[in-house]
Structure 1
């Protein structure tokens, strides 16, 4: 599936929202490929640790200090480490 098919993406989101782990994994992968922090944040906020990991990775790649700070302030030590690395280079 590609994100160029809005109907398929909508259906995938519905499956993910219903708790389908395969759909969640696919959405996380698509969002990470697109660098879509909002989608990753949404999935992470719903409890996907994979989405959280990808959110940190993409935010780090993009140099998004605000997102890393938000995650660090919420207690994510990996985000805090990445934030420290980016701000002390």
Structure 2
């Protein structure tokens, strides 16, 4: 990655304007950092890739509240992951 790729304020500004490449880079960086808040923001803004990454990370961290929030919003994958995690708790 270039310095530009890791200039988070610039990437965030571009993403807010709908720049798909900036969004993709932010998703990748947030996933690498384990940054649920950044992924949540990008997901809430409509990035399906961010939603997928958020579900993956929340599942790895067993973040049940985040999975519940996503499932309540209608995300079937989050609901499936939540069911799998809570099934093993019984």
- Structure 1 distance, partners of 2:35, 2:7, is 17
Q: Which runs of 5+ in 1 are unaligned?
A: none
Report the counterpart of residue 83 of structure 2 in structure 1.
Answer: 84
CA distance in structure 1 between the aligned counterparts of 2:53 and 2:78, rounded to whole angstroms? 11
Deviation digits for residues 40-60 of structure 1 (CA, Å, limit 9, x no counterpart): 000001100000000000000
Secondary structure at 1:47 match in 2? coil
- In structure 2, the partner of 1:43 is 42
SS of match in other structure, 1:88: helix
Q: Matched residue pairs, number?
A: 86
Provide structure 2 residue ranges, at least 5 long, that are not aligned to the other structure: none
Which stretches of structure 1, 4 residues or longer, exceed 3 Å deviation after superposition? none
Alignment of 1:9-48 (within 5 A): 9-48=8-47
Over the aligned positions, Cα root-mean-square deviation in angstroms equals 1.6
